[in-house]
Amino acid sequence: MPFNRRDALALAAGSVAVAAVGHKAQAQAAASPFTLPPLGYALDALAPTIDAETMMLHHDKHHAGYLKALNEAVASTPSTAGDTLEALMQKAAALPPAFRKNAGQHYAHSFFWKAMAPAGQRGAPSDALMAAVTRDFGGLDAMKSAFEKAGATQFGSGWAWLILGADGKLAVTSTGNADTPLMGDAAVKGQPLLVNDVWEHAYYLTYRNRRAEYLSKWWDVVSWNRLNALHGEAVARKA
Ligand code: MN
């Protein structure tokens, strides 16, 4: 990539910041802007729906690998210094392919861990969420069916999403591989409210090839509290 004025300014600002604090740790932090979020619960907190070994491999190996590759991509592309994850997804089509893959995977996995919760912390759909689900799908079971179908029919690897669209309506969609509804060139765009991972690494140890069974049982570990909160925030932003 050509070295432009913005790169020069970013480098200069970085040099000043590093010189000012004079610690190697600060330079490391600047070079690796994204970090692996903790699960927030024990590896076996979602068992038997999702087994502990799957959670360990998925979070500590798969997600960590995408994160490392994302930070390497940022480090080797100075024009992206300081960009948020959302900004990187928005302009993914104009960046090297490593950004689409790894910004998307880092975003989706970080979202996915929070979409689930241990027993006793999951809650139930709020009245506001139920009203919106009933309005846009006809009922909760219909929403769940649409979500499971989106996940089951996503060919190959990808994600199933519940989103709030620009029209203010809830919708279900799926994306392939590392794509998300926040990418600038997404076929269906919207604010993600819920996501399930339908890559085989998410379910294969327990469910083998039975993706539909995984999708069906996954509702047992969904954090309705989190979904209620995200829905409320997304609706408020549109009001
Ligand atoms: Mn995954």
CA of 144 to the centre of ligand 1 (A): 20
Report the Cα 24 to chain-centroid distance in Å: 30
CA of 202 to the centre of ligand 1 (A): 5
pLDDT digits (tens, 9 = 90+) for 9-66: 444 434 333 333 334 444 444 558 999 999 999 999 999 999 999 999 999 999 999 9
CA of 151 to the centre of ligand 1 (A): 13
CA of 109 to the centre of ligand 1 (A): 6
What fold is seen in the domain 127-238? Answer: minor pseudopilin epsh fold (3.55.40)
**Residues contacting 220, CB < 8 A, separation 6+:** 49
CA of 1 to the centre of ligand 1 (A): 30
CA of 155 to the centre of ligand 1 (A): 15
CA of 62 to the centre of ligand 1 (A): 7
- pTM exceeding 0.85: yes
Q: Could you tell me the sign of the dihedral formed by the alpha carbons of 86, 102, 186, 1, in that order?
A: positive
Alpha helices in 78-126 (DSSP H): 85-90, 97-114
Query: What span, in angstroms and rounded, lies between the C-alpha atoms of 91 and 158?
Result: 20
CA of 93 to the centre of ligand 1 (A): 22
CA of 106 to the centre of ligand 1 (A): 9
CA of 177 to the centre of ligand 1 (A): 10
- How high is the pLDDT of residue 7? 43
Assess whether pLDDT exceeds 60 at residue 1. Answer: no
- How high is the pLDDT of residue 238? 87
- How high is the pLDDT of residue 30? 55
- For the chain, helix (H) and strand (E) counts, in that order, are 11, 3
CA of 10 to the centre of ligand 1 (A): 33
CA of 47 to the centre of ligand 1 (A): 17
Query: What span, in angstroms and rounded, lies between the C-alpha atoms of 174 and 161?
Result: 6
Give the bridge partners for 191, in sequence order. Answer: 164
Please give the average per-residue pLDDT across 63-72, as a whole number. Answer: 98
Q: What percent of the chain has pLDDT over 90?
A: 86
Q: For residue 81, name the pLDDT band (cuts at 50, 70, 90).
A: very high
CA of 196 to the centre of ligand 1 (A): 9
CA of 230 to the centre of ligand 1 (A): 21
- How high is the pLDDT of residue 12? 40
- How high is the pLDDT of residue 84? 97
- How high is the pLDDT of residue 239? 83
- How high is the pLDDT of residue 31? 59
pLDDT digits (tens, 9 = 90+) for 160-214: 999 999 999 999 999 999 999 999 999 999 999 999 999 999 999 999 999 999 9
Query: What span, in angstroms and rounded, lies between the C-alpha atoms of 13 and 121?
Result: 43
Strands of 191-197's sheet in order across: 170-176, 158-164, 191-197
CA of 193 to the centre of ligand 1 (A): 17
Please give the average per-residue pLDDT across 105-130, as a whole number. Answer: 98
